[in-house]
Amino acid sequence: MTNEFGFIELCKQYYGYSTDAPSNFGELIGIQLLGHAMGYDAVHLIIPKAVHHNMYALLTGDSTLTRKSTTQGLGMDIYPYERCLPQETSPEQFVVELSEKNEAMQFLPEFTALIKGATRRGSYMARFVELYNDLHGCPKRYHRKLRAKKGEESEFLIEKAYLSVNSTVTPEMLMEKLTFELAVGGFLARWLLVYGEPKTKPRRRLHESALKLNESLKYQIEAIVRMNRKVEFEFTDEALKRFNEIEAEALKVEHAKPFAGRYLNYVVAIADILLVSDAIGYATEQGKSLRVWTQLVELVQYYTINTINTISREPRTQLIEEIAINPTNSTNCIMVPIEYVDRAWEIVKPCLEYANEIVKYVGLDKDVAKLRKQIKKAGKIGHSKAMVNANLNADQMKNAVKTLLQRGEIRQENEDVERTGSGKITKNVYHWIGEEA
């Protein structure tokens, strides 16, 4: 069950009024902004380490058509400016900024620049990879020494580091510039890869509700930020059992195993965020000002206790009893029902599947990967068209076809084609079969 007045649902409506970007982009932005607003001290208690709600998200889609930059810009307009880091900065200034405001959101304009710099010897961008890796886990104390141009060192301490980053990239640039080391070595696995299909529409008048939604979303984010208190989440017994089932499923993804663990943490975080979003919607629907909800825990507990769990169809009284008798439940603990685990997995699962495709592509020879992508996309494609689309010469095409045939991923056959003025000709056609066994 989703609440039509919830923050994330309103965010999706806002994006629907404002742009023709893929709907999952607007949903992801809503999740990321609300999760970051919840702050460092909101955590989910699950072994081996409490999960925070910060997120690194990479919007991936065709250039121009998927409106990635527009999506980013609308998100920047919602989130408080004073809680955002500069879009472009040096590693040194980045650390300085975080030492001054430990809870910060960064909208990184183009991911390609980061991965290109990370693989270039001596590039300052390589230091960003280390910083992003270190800060993703929200260290309680992060100590860093920085060396100035004259050889002098300055020390900085970031207390309760809480960083979220949103960036954009086209699939072509991601696959072309990404190295296998970056793909499977832990860096890319920290980023939720959100692929969006283009759905371009003619320009239209801006719906009058867009401006009202913008103000409402800003207000709700600022209200959550002001609450700023320690809040702990836990799964109900039923939700924890379902999460363990999802974990077993995720770990079967062969090529993206380095992603599975961190993406499962995103399932945990997103489940909590979805619950908070629905709780905000419940308060709004009841006509209650968010100022009444001076504590986030009160808001969410009130919502949970006063709402029926629609997945298990438990009566409200039973749900109240389940929360009340849970031995781990305390005044500050919010119990997350099973439906939020399922909804979170619906969001994360396509990201894991896409990550699996990226790793497979990067792990292949580039020529093979390019041809594989074209044949899989088309399902059936002629030799000449495949060679042109993959931008391969005759020798490259020959070797790539041989490799894919050996892998058992394509089938080759001859097909007679009628051409005006020249009669029938025979051409090679490739059919996509499926993944390598």
The beta-strand segments (E) located in 305-434 are: 333-336, 380-382, 410-419, 423-432
Average pLDDT over residues 223-248: 88
Average pLDDT over residues 129-151: 83
Q: What percent of the chain has pLDDT over 90?
A: 35
User: Residue 305's pLDDT is what?
Assistant: 56
Q: Virtual CA dihedral for 243, 34, 88, 195, nearest 10 degrees? A: 50
Of 327 and 172, the structure prediction assigns the larger pLDDT to 172
User: Residue 105's pLDDT is what?
Assistant: 94
Domain ranges of the chain: 7-360, 367-432
Residue 329: pLDDT band (50, 70, 90) is very low
Mean pLDDT of the chain: 82
Within 8 A by CB and 6+ apart from 40, the residues are: 52, 102, 103, 138, 160, 161, 162
Q: How many residues in total does the chain contain?
A: 437
Average pLDDT over residues 83-97: 87
Which CATH number is 367-432's, of 2.40.128.50, 3.30.300.130, 1.10.10.10, 3.30.420.40? 1.10.10.10
179-198 burial code (b ≥16 CB/10 A, e <16): eeebbbebbbbbbbbbbbee
User: Residue 149's pLDDT is what?
Assistant: 60
Residue 289: pLDDT band (50, 70, 90) is low
- Give which of 340, 353, 308, 350 is closest to 242, Cα–Cα: 340
Average pLDDT over residues 21-26: 90
Average pLDDT over residues 97-121: 86
Residue 405: pLDDT band (50, 70, 90) is confident
Cβ-contact 43, 50 below 8 angstroms: yes
User: Residue 241's pLDDT is what?
Assistant: 96
Pairing of the two strands 141-147 and 153-159: antiparallel
CA angle 36/42/44 to nearest 5° reads 110
Residue 321: pLDDT band (50, 70, 90) is very low
- Give which of 122, 136, 145, 140 is closest to 165, Cα–Cα: 136
| Res 194 pLDDT > 90 | yes
Helices (H) and strands (E) in the chain, counts: 17, 12
Cβ-contact 214, 10 below 8 angstroms: no
Assigned CATH topology for domain 7-360: Rossmann fold (3.40.50)
Of 26 and 425, the structure prediction assigns the larger pLDDT to 26
